[in-house]
Amino acid sequence: MRCRKCNTKAVIGLPRHNAAFCKVCFNEYVHDQVRRAIKAERMFNRDDRILVAVSGGKDSLALWDILLKLGYRTDALYVDLGIADYSIKSREKVEQFAHMAAQSHGAALLIHTVQQEEGAGIRELADLIHRPTCSACGTIKRYQFNRAAVEHGYDVLATGHNLDDEAARLLGNVLHWQEEYLDKQSPNLPASVEGFAKKVKPLYRLAERETAAYAVLNGIDYIVEECPMAKGSKMLLYKEVLNRLETESPGTKQAFYWGFLEKQARVRPTTPAMTEKDRLTLHPCATCGQPTTAEVCSYCKMMVRAKASIPDS
């Protein structure tokens, strides 16, 4: 297998592009895909300050690395969920990478510790309020990522969702015809109202095995295990199904997700952030001030219930 660009020995084959690359040309390919994503979706520019949501996994650390190497002013936020070994190990990976990023690019790492700030680890918290762990986790992460971006004055919040994540999410939304979610499934959600950070997904043009290869080839030490709570999730099932299709017919995921984005752009040339209905009904949460459609936002409601159940709180 030879590199398509320079004809030296290739280290990775990309069947969906009918190509193979050596390490140097593969890095160029990855950087180029991210540059194209940023430009095509008008995600941010050179003057913007970017906050990357990092988990310790390959995608978010690769994203932080790529944005720094492309010359963007990028810091990161890690939310420590307090899930025993998984959180200990993933935090170690993040701190290790952040140490290098601070030395080489002067980048900063913010940390939010759920055990300290919300009063209990995510599993205990979810048990106390009788909600599935991932649903409580989603509420906390969405809230804290947004809050950190707004309070620390970042222009945009970037997440490491890749092509596989977005294609799997699209499959789930289509299978259940969740039209409201379909409307908002975009790699760029502008900050449409005060108090909401703009959110972008610069890795949407790269497959999961490409971000994994990028991390390995560039010596990024990441946590290989998935969060233990993800076991049995529908998303993993959709990814498996799409991988099966991809093996038989390379390019399926890309055609599915990028095709959706093209159709969405044709129907509605500007990026959707909020429906008009949302915009009209959003107002500051009576407790914390973040935008919400109810009187009190779902995070604050959840915390009231949790505090009432946490012993000695």
According to DSSP, the residues that pair with 200 across neighbouring strands are 158, 188
- CA dihedral sign, ordered 157, 162, 163, 164: negative
N-term to C-term CA, the chain = 62
Specify the pairing of strand 12-14 against strand 19-21. antiparallel
Residues 6 or more apart whose CB falls under 8 angstroms from that of 119 comprise: 125, 306, 307, 310, 313
Q: Are 74 and 68 in contact (CB under 8 A)?
A: yes
What does 217 bind: ligand Q46, Zn ion, none (CB cut-off 5 to 8 Å by kind)? none
Whose Cβ is closer to ligand Q46: residue 66's or residue 140's?
Answer: 140
Q: Which of residues 182-241 bind ligand Q46 (CB under 6 A)?
A: 227, 229-230
Whose Cβ is closer to ligand Q46: residue 87's or residue 292's?
Answer: 87
Nearest CA among 213, 211, 191 for reference residue 202? 211
Q: Does 297 bind Zn ion (CB under 5 A)?
A: yes
Q: Which two tokens stand for residue 203?
A: 């890795």
**How many of the chain's residues bind ligand Q46 (CB under 6 A)?**
8
From the CB of 126, what's the least distance to ligand Q46, in Å?
Answer: 8
Whose Cβ is closer to ligand Q46: residue 60's or residue 188's?
Answer: 60
Q: What is the CA radius of gyration of the chain?
A: 20
What does 138 bind: Zn ion, ligand Q46, none (CB cut-off 5 to 8 Å by kind)? ligand Q46
Strands annotated E in 22-159: 49-54, 73-80, 109-113, 156-158
What does 297 bind: ligand Q46, Zn ion, none (CB cut-off 5 to 8 Å by kind)? Zn ion
Whose Cβ is closer to ligand Q46: residue 111's or residue 282's?
Answer: 111
What does 111 bind: Zn ion, ligand Q46, none (CB cut-off 5 to 8 Å by kind)? none
Residues of 174-203 as b/e, b for ≥16 C-beta within 10 angstroms? eeeeeeeebebbbbbbbbbeebbbbbbbbb
What does 285 bind: ligand Q46, Zn ion, none (CB cut-off 5 to 8 Å by kind)? Zn ion
Taking residues 122 to 161 in sequence order and writing x for each that binds ligand Q46 by CB under 6 A, - otherwise, the string is x----------xx--xx-----------------------
From the CB of 233, what's the least distance to ligand Q46, in Å?
Answer: 7
Q: Does 22 bind ligand Q46 (CB under 6 A)?
A: no
Q: Does 288 bind Zn ion (CB under 5 A)?
A: yes
Rounded to whole angstroms, the Cα distance separating 12 from 213 reads: 8
Q: Which residues bind Zn ion (CB under 5 A)?
A: 285, 287-288, 297, 300
Chain positions contacting ligand Q46, by CB under 6 A: 122, 133-134, 137-138, 227, 229-230
